[in-house]
């Protein structure tokens, strides 16, 4: 029977508010709507239950709520791993594989559903590429839509905030370092070397620029000419350097450089020097590149240079989000550059230090150990050192601690706050020999007290960052065997992890705090991180990264590949939300946090976030069943 036009139009208007129907061709939607029926289910009525025969109906929630449960029992908040609302579909997995459902689907309130026969569902899969793509990839498909929105937003922001149309005042990176024209050339070169700068501006008593010396000038006029280094700067500098006002645009400066062959242009206002723009500054506007930042970090000779590189890392994050870089790659890039920055700090602090004679490994812990750092991260690190014959662990520790403190303080100046819990290498508790680390870990595994379990979630994700990496490898091998032999400890870790449930509500979409926000770190990514860690430790996994652990578990057949893919997509979406949140907070001058107001998200992102929390509940259900918690 043909659907009346008014009803068809109303249903079409309703369904196109939701994915995948919003992306389907009209003819395919009309074909589907003409075959839909509407079913009513009273509150607590079971719609589908586990059975051997294949499912014969595709459901779309028209109004109300559907709860998915693991057992055929009255739904309790903690027992419900799935919650479906208006516009959402079920049971895709069972229909695609032509089997019965493995969960119970129950009406959480008086509910109406659009219903399509299984035969028509499979026919629609063949007709509509958009419908097929959604049903077979689900979270990945929603994520792709969200990524396109994010990329468009950030591309506009990127073009607005850092383009060749930016005023020069927005590009100046720091106050110019200056000197008088009478300063001896030797002193000028020493200042340039000490500060890691490529030019020196000479100013008069009124702070007006009268000359400039660049590295190119040093090569041509000093080194090759064999100039006397005791002569004044004025004898070799370029007089009357070109200057532009702060409101001049970047592309105008680029044209002047191209026309005259300049590498530097001064920025002056009312005759007063305000800054210096280099050829490199203009190039970096288009893309602050990995190679550029990495080279700056490796060549940095002081902390000020590294602080500037830390700012570049944050800018790179913005650029890469605009380019559509995935959250997995982005967090690894951030962590890798932060590693490089930490390594350079360690190298600078090791100069002329007696610690150079000690065999040690600087270890990254927590999110840094997992390569999962975002812009909002404090320090989690420790030191593992080797005790040779005749050496004393306590004496070695006393020698290392002052060095470790200097590194921790330098990292804090670069934007990595000191850890409030003192999980840092400068803490004597976390600057240990191989034997001491093993004794510490063994004590946690044997006792499993609440503090032991908390420490395990931070320290068991360690990885070597600098120094004798083989020491960390040996400790990892020891830990793998120690944990696998203690099933009680794994059970305790599972019970502890299950105390943190994803914030899905039965009445509202999300359970929020008093400030109406969700903690994307604690309630969002932590359920995935904790479960992946436990399953990895139980099965002798070698990965410390959450995504790596989930993939490794799928390879070991500990998780179904399609389930692991869904967990990974969900985890990475929350990471992406955190990166977006931190960038927005940074741009508004707000302190960085992981608390997000779900009402600030668009409809698509709210839907994906709900789905990610459902995947977290599903993963926790497996943890619950495996360890009978």
- pTM reported for the whole predicted model: 0.64
Same domain, yes or no, for 200 and 179? yes
Of 118, 136, 154, the residue at which a domain comes to its end is 136
Looking at residue 70, which CATH number applies to its domain?
Answer: 2.60.120.10
CB hemisphere CA count around 568 (13 angstroms): 22
Same domain, yes or no, for 359 and 426? yes
Same domain, yes or no, for 300 and 238? no
- Indicate if the pLDDT at residue 285 is higher than 70: no
- Over residues 176-188, the pLDDT tens digits come to 889 999 999 999 9
Q: Residue 74 has what pLDDT? A: 38
Spatial neighbors of 183 by CB under 8 A, at least 6 apart, are 202, 232, 233
- Note whether residue 388 is domain-resident: yes
CA angle 430, 434, 435 (to 5 degrees): 100
Higher pLDDT, 22 or 427: 427
Same domain, yes or no, for 303 and 243? no
Long-range contacts of 231-235 (CB under 8 A, 24+ apart): 231/184, 231/185, 232/181, 232/182, 232/183, 232/184, 232/185, 233/179, 233/180, 233/181, 233/182, 233/183, 233/184, 233/185, 233/188, 233/200, 233/202, 234/181, 234/182, 234/202, 235/185
Q: Which of 137, 139, 68 is nearest to 102 (CA)?
A: 68
- Indicate if the pLDDT at residue 76 is higher than 50: no
CB 355 within 8 A of CB 466: no
Q: Residue 75 has what pLDDT? A: 37
| Phi, psi for residue 592 in degrees, rounded to 5 | -75, 135
Q: Which residues lie across from 89 on neighbouring strands? A: 60
- Note whether residue 471 is domain-resident: no
Distance CA 571, CA 363 (A): 25
Same domain, yes or no, for 11 and 128? yes
Distance CA 129, CA 126 (A): 7
- Indicate if the pLDDT at residue 288 is higher than 80: no
- Indicate if the pLDDT at residue 163 is higher than 60: no
- Note whether residue 121 is domain-resident: yes
The mean-pLDDT minimum among 131-135, 456-460, 463-467 falls in 131-135
Q: Which of 21, 221, 33 is nearest to 131 (CA)?
A: 21
Higher pLDDT, 423 or 74: 423
Of 136, 155, 189, the residue at which a domain comes to its end is 136
Mean pLDDT, residues 63-67: 91
Helices (H) and strands (E) in the chain, counts: 23, 21
Q: Which residues lie across from 432 on neighbouring strands? A: 384
- Indicate if the pLDDT at residue 554 is higher than 90: yes
- Note whether residue 484 is domain-resident: no
- Note whether residue 487 is domain-resident: no
Q: Residue 150 has what pLDDT? A: 56
Mean pLDDT, residues 247-251: 81
CA distances from 487 to 440, 446, 484 (A): 18, 10, 7
Q: Three-state SS across 562-619?
A: HHHHHHHHHHHHHHHHHHHHHHHHHHCCCCCCCEECHHHCCHHHHHHHHHHHHHHHHH
Same domain, yes or no, for 515 and 530? yes
Distance CA 216, CA 5 (A): 77
- Note whether residue 465 is domain-resident: no
Q: Residue 165 has what pLDDT? A: 63
Same domain, yes or no, for 202 and 275? yes
Q: Residue 488 has what pLDDT? A: 93
Looking at residue 580, which CATH number applies to its domain?
Answer: 1.20.120
Q: Residue 263 has what pLDDT? A: 83
Tally Cβ neighbours within 10 Å of residue 456. 24
Same domain, yes or no, for 518 and 420? no
Spatial neighbors of 107 by CB under 8 A, at least 6 apart, are 41, 42, 43, 44, 45, 47, 64, 65, 66, 67
H or E element at residue 468: none
- Note whether residue 277 is domain-resident: yes
Same domain, yes or no, for 240 and 296? no
Of 407, 440, 473, the residue at which a domain comes to its end is 440
Mean pLDDT, residues 68-82: 50
**How many residues are given for the chain?**
629
What is the number of domains present in the chain? 4
Mean pLDDT, residues 43-51: 91
Give the domain extent around 108. 5-136
- Note whether residue 155 is domain-resident: no
Q: Burial code of 283-318, b = ≥16 C-beta within 10 A, e = fewer? A: ebbebbeeebbeebbeebeebebbbbbbebbebbbb
Same domain, yes or no, for 17 and 126? yes
Distance CA 539, CA 555 (A): 11
First to last CA, the chain: 52
Q: Which of 260, 189, 266 is nearest to 222 (CA)?
A: 189
Mean pLDDT, residues 520-530: 93
Mean pLDDT, residues 211-234: 90
Looking at residue 267, which CATH number applies to its domain?
Answer: 3.10.580.10
**What percent of the chain has a predicted confidence (pLDDT) above 70?**
89
Distance CA 135, CA 28 (A): 15
CB 184 within 8 A of CB 229: yes
- Over residues 297-323, the pLDDT tens digits come to 888 899 999 998 898 888 777 766 665
Q: Residue 284 has what pLDDT? A: 59
Reported as a pLDDT band with limits 50, 70 and 90, residue 281 is: confident
CA angle 395, 398, 400 (to 5 degrees): 110
- Indicate if the pLDDT at residue 140 is higher than 60: no
Looking at residue 391, which CATH number applies to its domain?
Answer: 3.30.460.10
Same domain, yes or no, for 272 and 173? yes
Reported as a pLDDT band with limits 50, 70 and 90, residue 335 is: confident
Q: Residue 70 has what pLDDT? A: 61
- Over residues 104-116, the pLDDT tens digits come to 899 999 999 999 9
Same domain, yes or no, for 274 and 303? no
The mean-pLDDT minimum among 20-29, 255-264, 282-291, 586-595 falls in 282-291
Q: Residue 432 has what pLDDT? A: 97
Burial of residue 103 (CB within 10 Å: 0-12, 13-18, 19+) is: buried
CB 462 within 8 A of CB 368: no
Reported as a pLDDT band with limits 50, 70 and 90, residue 123 is: very high
- Indicate if the pLDDT at residue 92 is higher than 70: yes
CB 58 within 8 A of CB 89: yes
- Over residues 591-610, the pLDDT tens digits come to 888 999 988 887 778 888 88
- Indicate if the pLDDT at residue 14 is higher than 70: yes
Distance CA 488, CA 447 (A): 10
- Alpha helices, H only, 166-302: 185-195, 215-217, 250-260, 279-286, 290-299
Mean pLDDT, the chain, whole residue set: 86
Tally Cβ neighbours within 10 Å of residue 386. 18
Mean pLDDT, residues 37-66: 92
């Amino acid at each position: 029977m043909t659907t009346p036009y008014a009803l068809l139009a109303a249903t079409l208007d309703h369904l196109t508010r939701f994915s995948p129907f919003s992306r389907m061709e009209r003819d395919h939607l009309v074909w589907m709507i003409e075959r839909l029926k509407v079913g009513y289910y009273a509150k607590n009525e079971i719609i589908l239950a586990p059975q051997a025969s294949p499912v014969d109906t595709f459901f779309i929630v028209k109004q109300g709520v559907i709860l998915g449960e693991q057992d055929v029992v009255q739904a309790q908040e903690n027992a419900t791993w799935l919650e479906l609302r208006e516009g959402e579909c079920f049971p895709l997995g069972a229909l695609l594989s032509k089997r019965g459902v493995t969960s119970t689907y129950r009406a959480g309130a008086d509910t109406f559903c659009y219903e399509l026969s299984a035969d028509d569902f499979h026919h629609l899969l063949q007709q509509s590429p958009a419908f097929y793509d959604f049903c077979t990839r689900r979270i990945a498909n929603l994520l792709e839509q969200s990524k396109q929105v994010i990329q468009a937003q950030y591309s506009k922001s990127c073009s607005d905030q850092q383009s060749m149309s930016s005023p020069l005042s927005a590009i100046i990176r720091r106050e110019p370092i200056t000197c008088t024209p009478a300063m001896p050339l030797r002193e000028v070169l020493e200042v340039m070397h000490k500060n890691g700068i490529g030019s020196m501006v000479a100013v008069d008593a009124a702070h007006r620029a009268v000359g400039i010396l660049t590295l190119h000038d040093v090569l041509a006029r000093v080194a090759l000419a064999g100039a006397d280094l005791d002569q004044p700067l004025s004898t070799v500098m370029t007089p009357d350097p070109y200057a532009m006002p702060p409101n001049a645009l970047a592309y105008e400066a680029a044209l002047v450089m191209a026309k005259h062959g300049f590498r530097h242009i001064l920025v002056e206002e009312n005759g007063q020097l305000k800054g210096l723009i280099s050829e490199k500054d203009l190039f970096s506007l288009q893309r602050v590149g990995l190679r550029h930042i990495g080279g700056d970090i490796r060549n940095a000779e002081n902390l000020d240079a590294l602080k500037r590189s830390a700012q570049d890392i944050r800018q790179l994050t913005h650029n890469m989000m605009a380019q559509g870089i995935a959250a997995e790659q982005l967090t690894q890039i951030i962590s890798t550059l932060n590693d490089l920055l930490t390594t350079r700090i360690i190298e600078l602090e090791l100069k002329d230090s007696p610690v150079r004679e000690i065999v040690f490994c600087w270890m990254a812990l927590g999110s840094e150990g997992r390569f999962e750092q975002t812009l909002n991260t404090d320090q989690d690190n420790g030191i593992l050192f080797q005790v040779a014959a005749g050496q004393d662990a306590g004496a070695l520790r006393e020698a290392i601690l002052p060095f470790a403190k200097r590194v921790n303080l330098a990292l804090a100046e670069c934007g990595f706050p000191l850890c409030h819990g003192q999980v840092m290498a400068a803490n004597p508790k976390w600057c240990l020999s191989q034997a001491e680390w093993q004794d510490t870990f063994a004590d946690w595994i044997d006792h499993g007290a609440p503090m032991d379990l908390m420490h395990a979630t931070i320290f068991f994700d360690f990885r070597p960052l600098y120094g004798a990496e083989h020491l960390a490898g040996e400790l990892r091998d020891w830990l793998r065997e120690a944990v696998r032999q203690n099933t009680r400890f794994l059970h305790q870790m599972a019970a502890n992890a299950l105390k943190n449930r994803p914030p899905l509500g039965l009445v509202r979409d999300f359970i929020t705090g008093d400030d109406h926000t969700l903690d994307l770190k604690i309630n969002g990514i932590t359920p995935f991180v904790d479960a992946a860690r436990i399953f990895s430790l139980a099965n002798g996994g070698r990965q410390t990264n959450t995504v790596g652990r989930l993939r490794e578990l799928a390879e070991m057949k500990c998780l179904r590949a399609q389930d692991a893919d869904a967990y990974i997509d969900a985890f990475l979406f929350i990471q992406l939300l955190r990166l977006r949140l931190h960038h927005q907070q940074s741009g508004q001058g707000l302190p960085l946090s992981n608390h997000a107001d779900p009402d600030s998200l668009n409809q698509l992102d709210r839907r994906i976030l709900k789905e990610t929390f459902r995947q977290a509940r599903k993963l926790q259900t497996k943890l619950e069943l495996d360890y009978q918690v």
